[in-house]
Chains A and B, each alone.
Chain A
Amino acid sequence: MRPASIMKLFPRIVSLAGAGLGASLLLPAAAKAEGMPQLDFTTPLTISQVIWGTIIFVVLYRLLSRNALPLVSSVLEERAAKISHDLDGARAAKARADAGVEEANEATAKARAEAQHAINAAVEEAKKAAAAQAEILNARLEKQLADSEAQIAAARASAMKALRQVATETAATVVTRLTGVSPNTGRLDGAIGSALSARGIA
């Protein structure tokens, strides 16, 4: 039973109270030989205090239940409503802040992607331009090379022609000096041609 368990909580208090009650009853030598005033029903005050007490209790109950306790509960409810309202406001502010952060992140990512894209395009364009320039340069160099080669070949050809002439004239002069007879141009020409071809020049 629960009342019994409650009473088990306070065995010392009960025993002490009992000891006190016992002590008060075990002092007959000192105490006056009269009964407990609480049980003295010869005076009307014992009963009248209960009647007045009932009236006071009822009045107190009505004042508490109709005025005082609703006053407390109204303040407590007001506070609970204010707290929950403030909490809702804080939650909404947090949601707004979260959305702002999200938006900023998105914008940053987008800007970064755009910048990357622009960089890539610029690099690509620069590469293309460089390649075109290099091609033009190459073409020019090649042309110059070909021109130079042609010049060299022409110079060489003219030099070779001059060499044959020089060789023929020189050979004719040498023969004329040595022999005093001008050589047969036909034979001389053939000899020079074979000599030159033997050296791989003609």
Chain B
Amino acid sequence: MAAEGSSSIDALGQFQLHPALGFIGGSVNFTQANLMMVVSGIGILALLWFGMRPRAMVPGRLQAAAELSYDTLLSMCLEQIGPEGRKYFPFVFTLFFFILFGNLLGVFPYFFTFTSHIAVTLALALLVFVLVTTVAIQEHGWHFLSYFVPQGIPKVLLPLLVTIEVISYLSRIISLSVRLFANMMAGHVMLEVFGAFIIMLAGLGVLGYAPAGLSLALNTILIGFELLVAVLQAYVFAVLTCIYLHDAVHLH
């Protein structure tokens, strides 16, 4: 996130991928995004592992956090999907915390936000899409196709509506992936731009101090806003996955 020069703003350079872990990472094209994924995964596992290790009847802070994360995600699955949600709970839990930790770690300076890459979010959305479609076919067989046929509709309109339904079903991939990617990228671009403003304006001399301070204040607020967006987007992704799974299990 550090601004490069004082005369130009390189807002997109922060999204550039580099090989991580030196020579070994370079030889297998292991990027800093993947390193952040590993850090996120270790973070989730550490939260559950060290949180639950005391196995206390009355949980301490860390155990309460671990239990809260479990309970929140489980109740979300059960509420959105129904009793069958328990089966998909580990997947939704993994998805939510993978994205959440990715988003939150990205707010730290010099850390990379892997959810700001459309390729990554598209892969996650495709994973959800494939899972949902597989579940629907497993549960209902060919009857699954009736999902695209709205009921109580005149026969004349049927081809048009089926087309629209299929398109809206397929567009889930785009909406899921672009929503997360755009939110994360936009936030980090804004942070970068205002960060660069601070340096550029402060370099102008006494006249620039006030607007530079204003930019700094704005960036401070933006960081708080980014934390909100990080949680919110992970939540939206997980909730939408649950809703799609509900549709797959129950067909409407």
Contacts and interface: CB of A to CB of B under 8 A. Distances in A.
A53 interface: yes
Interface residues of B, number: 68
Nearest to B189: A24
A73 B123 CA distance: 30
B66 A37 contact: no
A76 to B, nearest CB: 7
Contacts of B189: 20-21, 23-24
Contacts of A48: 28-31
Contacts of A39: 118
A52 B12 contact: no
A54 interface: yes
Interface of B: 8-13, 15-19, 28-31, 33-34, 37-38, 41, 44-45, 48-49, 52, 55, 57, 63, 66-67, 70-71, 89-91, 93-94, 98, 114, 116-120, 123-124, 127, 168, 172, 175, 181-183, 185-187, 189-190, 193, 196, 225, 228-229, 232, 236, 239-240, 243
Given A32-B8, A44-B29, A52-B31, A23 B190 contact: yes
Interface of A: 1-3, 6, 10, 13, 16-21, 23-24, 27, 30-32, 34, 36-39, 43-50, 52-54, 56-57, 59-61, 63-65, 68-69, 71-73, 75-76, 78-79, 82
Interface of A is mostly: helix
Nearest to A60: B41
B157 to A, nearest CB: 18
B26 to A, nearest CB: 10
